[in-house]
Structures are given as structure tokens and as C-alpha cells.
A and B are shown apart, each in its own frame.
Chain A
Amino acid sequence: MPNDQIVRILVVDDHHTVVKGTAAFLQNHYSDAQIETASTVEETLTAFQTSPPNLLILDLSLPQEPEAEARPEHGIALLKQLMEQYPELNIAIQSTYVKTLVRVLHEIDDHEGGFTTFDKGLPETEVFKRVNSALDGFSYTREIKGKHPSIQLKPTWLKVIKLAFEEGLQDRAIAKELSVQESTVRHYWKKIYDILEIDPTDERQDGKNLRIRTQIRARERGLID
């Protein structure tokens, strides 16, 4: 969590009560943070014009402009636009339509910033965890996909796991092997934690080594021998 400057959080929801409630809840947890709100697509884009926030908390059901009808499609279109423009933007989706995100999975997979989702009905502590994860650049996307128990991932991520745990390569070597930036590999790891259902914050608090934990989990789930 960046400490050197003021954290800006933008809460987007078309319902004033929700916006107000969420803002109050965030202010409570991040006393130093600057909480901004928006209730339409237009307002959100305006808020981005100066500079992107550190965290975007987005409801998918949004109207294009004030008084217009709120639709999940508008929210998704906005999300796609923002992810494309700001690949490192941390995003937390607060919605009852989380599953509709399945069609933008490719963009979410490729998104380098934090990306978490949470249902509006979750208890506060859980909501805070998701928001915090997003702010830390981690991912929590498992609720987007269906209930199929298999591990779903991109072929590249499997390659990263194999290079790391079967061939014992460091991130730099992996980056070289895959012809990508080292930062990209680090971003891959965050995605891998997500699909292996490892909560980096919890693990760290429990004093466990994240990579070793990942290796164990990957072996448990049959990703490596």
C-alpha cells in the first residue's frame, strides 16, 4: 500500500445510498484516503481525466448519464475502456452481476493491476479484504467463473509454474525464457495465486512463504508432478 502519497479511491455506483455507505466504510478503514464518488459513466470518465485513482470500486450496473437507465453493459463497456487505458489500474468490482464478467476474462487475465470482485451482500470484513487485495495489486476472480472444480488458467501461466517449480528458475530467468518483462512475470504470479486460491495477504500474515505455498498447492492440484 503506497504510503508516500495520498491514496485516491473512486467509488462508482448509481445508487446514492450505496455510494454513501461505501464511502463511509472506506473512510473508516483508510482514514488518509481521498474518497471520490461517481454515479454515471460520464462522471467516472471525468474523474479519470485529471489522473487515474489508486483504486476504482465499480458497480457494473450504471447509467451512461444522469437520469438514464442503469445497465450492466454500460459498466462492462466502461471497465473494458479503463482496463485498456490504464493497464495497471487497481479495480474492485462491486456488483450483483459478477458472472457477466466472464466474457471479459481475456482482458481481466491480461490486466496488470489488482482486480477483485465482491458481491454487495458480503460482510464488511470480507469486503475490506477484497478491496485491500485490489489495492495491493492482487486478483480475486474465481467468482466470475462457473462452479467447475478444475483449475482454469492461461497456458502461459502454466508454463511459469513449470519453469519455476520443475526447472527451479527465478523470475528473471522465466522472463527471459518467455521473452517478457520481469514485471510481467510478477504479474503472472499474482494471477497464479488467484487461480490456486491463495490469499497473499492471509499467507503473509500467517508467516508462510508465498512461493513455497504456491508450489505445494500446484502439486496438490496436479499442475506439476
Chain B
Amino acid sequence: MANFDSYLKQLQQWRIGLGVIFSITLLRLLGISASLEFLAFDRFLGFLQSSKTEPVSEQITLVSLDQDFLDRLADDPGNSLRQEKIPEASLKELLQELLRHEPAVMGLDIVSERISPTDEQQLSQIINQNPEIVTVEKILSPPVPPLKNLSVQAQQAQIAANDFPVDWDGTVRRSFLILEKEEGFRESLSLRLANIYLEDQKNIELDNGLIDSETIRFHPKSHDGLTESKDIPTLIEVPRLRANSGAYHRENDIYGLQTLLNFRRSAQDGLQTLLHFRRSAQESSVFPIISASSVLQNDVKPELLNDRILIIGITAPSLASYSLTPLEISQFSEISSQAVGIELQAHATSQLISAVLDKRPLLNSFSTPVEYLWIISVGLFGIGVGRLSTSTARNLLSLGGMLLLLLMIGLATMYFWGWWLPIAPCFLVLSINGVAYIAYYQNERSWKSLIDERDRVISERDLALMDRDRAMNDLKSERSATIETAINEIHNGPLQTLALLIRRSQSPHIEAAELQGGLQTLDHEIRRLGEDLSQAAMASKISLRLGNGQRLDASLPLHELLYSVFDNTLNRNFPGLRTLRLTLRDFEPYPGDLTPELKRDIGHFIEEAICNVGKHAIDATQLEALGQVSEQSYSLIVRDNSAPAANHPLILHKGKGTQQAENLAHQLKGNFNRKPHRPSGVVCELSWPLSHS
């Protein structure tokens, strides 16, 4: 029951902390904490981005239709280019030129809207003839259909979706793998490119996920074509972004198959980027860039094209569309956190290929229950911080350390394994609960010390009251003793004289002189009485106050005091004393001096010893109380012949009386002991050397 109570008390103490955990969990469930979580995510990515470099991509090259290229098209008078569209002919020429270098696969990331068609259908022809060219359509609203006049085969295998899902804050943090269409599915351009590249160049196949059947995985092709695909070990299973994954609580567009974007890092670290001219540094730091113009002029390094994934798209500011990225990744844009389409495609493709070939981690998040478990346990840690030590400063330092550790864990898991922990809510519960409970326990400690102080004051007051009561009792008994003395003295003095005078006055022979003398005596006696009484009231003598109320003057010789104590105590009404038939008592005079205080305490010792017989002795018929002088010492012995009691309370336990006796023995530099007496009874002895004075 006590356990349950303390448990309940604990729970009560924790209610604030549990409330905080609950509130933050609720905030998260409602998606209110998402911006904070995105912020944390972006910062983490940024930190990782600047902390480690990656070599320039060896698989992907960007072919940019830059402003220079577009301007030249516009200048050509034979060209029917309208400002917003690119003629099929120039694209065909570009593709043909690129094909000459035998790339692994080409992604033409230009939607049909941006291409001005010709009657000759030059573009669709070249696409139909070259299966390594992949074109795009836009599926999300507003949709843009694929190129017309593609062969059935090309329609199935060479069209991919170039959409990117945009978060509610307008930022691209994830990419599609597969999109749902009205009829069937469409692979994203990045997946398509990665798939073709891996299959053709590395003999690696795309398949359904094994652990999570709704996602995809890559595995080596079976050599014989007979092995069941599920028996082939996975190279990588792409983590699927679920609704409610990470901070995606508010997003209602987690459809199709999506994964988070782990942007490819620059080949130059932050310092180098700062030192070099920024633009030129960026141009070749992540993906190699070749302008369409230089391709057409055959001014290219063939190794940047051969066996590579080429992603072709518009980068000219006048026609390009930009997307916000959490990181400053853009190699084209003036504002480097705004990326053009082919850059996003390149990063999305690159992360798949690197994951398969280099085991580069893809970003992943825990399932929702595990995330909440994290938040709750971190919140509980926060409650505990206040109890780590009694120093508030040290606790705050510990809290700081724990917050730092939390960040480190978050970074490390992201860096090494790509796991995205709910760092922001954890940080929040830990700091709120930590600070709250450091304050709470600090407060409780100061309360406790206040209460302790109060208890101390109360007990001191109680002691003082007890002292006062005792003093008042002493005063009362002193007063009654004084009154008694007064009555006795009146009785024995003036009253006797008065009685004599009355008797004498009845005699006929009374003489006036005799009467006068008698009256003078009476006057004298009464005056004397008054003086004596006031003197007695003033005198402060150390006295021994016995349990029956009797007071003894502690300045009397020790043995006289002991006889009085013995007689007074023996006549008290104790059961163990009533059965006594024989008492042997002999207190020899003490051959030395003792202070009244010591004599008082010795008197109390004898009283206590006899009271103990009275209280504890069973069927005792004989009591001995002796004070004996030997050569070197004086011993006081109290012995009874009670029935043998193996479990005599006083022999088993040290009571307050025993303690006092031991103290007294210590003061007298002597010994005290109490032990069973053979053949029966208990003997209690206090002895001390006579040299003590």
C-alpha cells in the first residue's frame, strides 16, 4: 500500500512533465510542430553538407540549354523559335550530337509545352529509334502530356514523370519514385534513368521491396534467369516515405512512392567554396555541366558524355522553372537555394545510383510509434535531470550536455545511417521538462529546508515548553513545600505560644508583665517566621526531586540522601515491590566529597534501580540495596531475587535509564552494568573510584 502511495506521489510530481510530453505529442500529431521539424531537418542536412565532401559525379552529366544557347536560336533568322519554345530541329540536332558519344542513357527533361513541333516529327523519330532516350510528361496539376507521335514501345518505356512533390513551405525535400496515373503508374524520371543505367551498365535489376513490399529494391540480375527474385540478396531497398513519416503529418500528398532527398554533396568543402570564385566553383563541384552550345560546336570532353547519364534541360533564366531547396545546391541559379529542374533530377537519380553502388545512405525515418517512444522517453529524461544533483547550476549544465548529446545522436544517425530522428520535438520536451523540473526540485529542496527549519524551531519550542513546565512544577512543589513549612512552623511556634498564653490568661494569678512578655515572644516569633519564609523562598538549592513528589536537599551527605531515596521509593505503589518480604539496605557513608549535582544524579540512579525492580521484577521477595566502601571504590548495588526471566526487558534493551546510568558512570569515571543474578533475579551495579572528588 505504501508502495502504491509513493508511486502515486511520484506520478503527481511528474504530472507537469507528463503534461508537457502529452502537449508536444499532441502538437506534433496536429502537425503544428512541422515547421520546427523541417527547420531541424534542413539544418541537419546543411550541417552534413558542409561537413563532408563528395567527389564530382562520375555517372551524371548535365546538358544545359542556357541563355547563350537560347539567344543564339533566337538570332537565327531561319528558325521559327518563339521566345518560349525550343524548335524540334535544334533538339534533334543536339540529341544526335550527344548520341555520337554513346551515353548510357539520356533524360530529356523538357516538357512538350516547351517544344515547338514540326511536321516532320523529327524529335519523335529519333526517340523512337533510340530507347536510351527518356522523355517526360508532367502528371501533377497542371498536367502536361508527353510528346506526340511516339511509338507504342517508346510510350511504354521512354516516358517518365518529371514532377517533384513540394512541401507546404514550397521547398523540395523529397522525390517521387513512382506516380499514380488515371490508368496505371508512371516511373519518375530519376528512377527511370537510374534503372536503365544500372541495368545496362551494372547488371542490376529493379524489383519489388522485400521488407516493405510497397517500395522498390535493387538487386543483381540472376545469371541463369531461373532463381526466384526474392532469393536474390538486396543491394538497396529504397525507404518509402509514409504519410506521417518524420514531419509529414500535415501533408496530404504522400501518394505514389516517394523518398526523401539526400542531396549530393559538393566536391569542395565550405571553406574552399568561400575562397574560390563562387560561381565557377559551383559549376563543376557536384555534377559536370556541358552547355548545349558547346555540344553542337563539338567542344566537349567525350569522357563527360560516354557511358554516362545525360540530363538535358533548360537552365536559361528566361525559361527555366525554379524550385526551392533546403540547401544551397544550385549550380545555375543566382540564388543557390533555388534549383532548376535538371538539378533536382540529377540529385534524385544520383542518390539512387550511389545508394546501390556505394552504399551511400538514403534518408529514412522511424515508424510513428517508435518516434513517439523517442519523444516520451526523452521527456522522461528531462524530468529526471532536476534530480541529478542538489546544485541547480550543475543540473543546468547536465541539461545542456544532454541537449548537446541529443543533437549529436541526431547528427550521427543521419550521417551514418540516414535515419532522421524527431530531434526537434525531443529537443523541445527535454529542454522544457529539464528547466521545469530543475526549477521544481530546486523549489522542493528549498521548501524542504524551510520545513526542516520549521520542524527544528517547533521541536526547540516544545523543549522550551517542557523545560518551562518542569520549572513550573518545581516551583509549585517548592511553593507547597514552603507553605507546608510555614504551617508547621506556625503550628510549632506562635500557635504553641498562643495556646500557652490562653491557658495562662485563664489563671486568676496572671500578671500583666508575664502576659506582656508572652505577647512580645509571640510578636518576635511571627516576625521571625516571616523573615525565614522569605529567605527560604529566595534560597536556590540543588534538590533531588523524587517520583513521589518529595524533594530532597542534594547538599546532604550521600548516604543520608540514599536512605531517604530508598525509603521514599520503596513505599511507592509498584507491583514488583509489594511482594517483597525482606529488604536489606545499608548505605555506608561516602568517604569523600561529591558535588550536589552528582549526588542528585546518584540519588536518581538508586530511585531508577528500585523503580525497575518495582516495574519488572516478578515474584521478588527480597531486595538488596547496598552502598559499600572498598579500598579503592564505592559501589552501589541493587539486587532482587525475582523469577529468572531470560528475556528481561532491561537486560535486552537499553532504555533511557540505562543511558543515564552509563552517562553517570562516565562522569564518575566508573562502571555501570546490569546483568542477571545467579540463581535468580537481576543485579544492577554502579561503582566508581574513590579518587574521584
What residues on B are CB-neighbors of A147 within 8 Å?
571
* Chain A residues within 8 Å of B561, by CB: 103
Could you tell me the distance between the alpha carbons of A103 and B577 in the complex, rounded to whole angstroms?
21
Q: When the two chains form the complex, which single residue of B488, B556, B564, B585 contacts A152, counting CB atoms closer than 8 Å?
A: B585
Known: A103-B556, A106-B563, A222-B621. A146 touches B626 (CB 8 A): no
Q: Is A223 in the interface zone, CB < 8 Å from B? A: yes
Chain A hits for B626, CB < 8 A: 155
Complex-state Cα separation, A147 to B503, whole angstroms? 37
Which chain B residues lie closer than 8 Å to A32 at the CB level? none
Q: Give every chain A residue within 8 A of B563 (Cβ-Cβ).
A: 102-106
Q: Are the CB atoms of B500 and A152 closer together than 8 Å? A: no
A150 on the interface (CB 8 Å rule)? Answer: yes
Taking a contact as CB atoms under 8 Å apart, the answer to whether A150 and B586 are in contact is: no
Q: Is A93 an interface residue (CB 8 A)?
A: no
CB of A154 closer than 8 Å to a CB of B: yes
Q: How many residues of A contact B (CB 8 A)?
A: 31
CB atoms of A96 and B570 under 8 A apart: no
Give the Cβ gap from B541 to chain A, nearest Cβ, in Å.
12
Please give the distance in Å from A153's CB to the nearest CB on chain B.
Answer: 6
Which residue of chain B has the shortest Cβ distance to A109 in the bound complex?
B586
Known: A106-B559, A154-B584. A148 touches B532 (CB 8 A): no
| A154 near B583: Cβ-Cβ < 8 Å | no
Instruction: List B residues 579-613 near A (Cβ within 8 Å).
Output: 580-589
Number of interface residues of B (CB under 8 A): 37
Q: Which listed residue, A15, A106, A221, touches B581 by the CB 8 Å rule?
A: A221
B560 on interface, CB distance cutoff 8 Å: yes
Residues of A within 8 A of B570 (CB): 146, 148, 150
Known: A16-B500, A70-B492, A155-B626. A150 touches B564 (CB 8 A): no
Cross-chain contact A150 with B568 (CB below 8 angstroms): no
Nearest to A155 among chain B residues (CB) is: B584
A47 within 8 A of B: no
Closest to B584 in A: A155
Decide: A102 near B496, CB < 8 A? Known: A155-B626, A222-B581.
no
CB-CB contacts below 8 Å: B476-491 with A: 488-489
Residues of B within 8 A of A105 (CB): 563, 567
Binary B-proximity of A135-157 (CB < 8 A = 1, otherwise 0): 00000000001111111111110
Contact B580 A155 (CB under 8 A): no
Which residue in B499, B528, B582, B623 is a CB contact (below 8 Å) of A69? B528
Q: Which residues of B contact A102 (CB under 8 A)?
A: 563-564, 567
17 A-B pairs, CB-CB below 8 angstroms? A16-B500, A18-B496, A61-B492, A69-B493, A69-B529, A70-B493, A102-B563, A102-B567, A148-B570, A150-B583, A150-B623, A151-B582, A152-B584, A154-B584, A221-B581, A222-B581, A222-B582
Given contacts A17-B496, A69-B528, A150-B583, 14 further A-B contacts (CB under 8 A): A17-B499, A102-B564, A102-B567, A146-B571, A147-B571, A148-B580, A150-B570, A150-B580, A151-B581, A153-B583, A156-B586, A158-B582, A158-B584, A222-B581
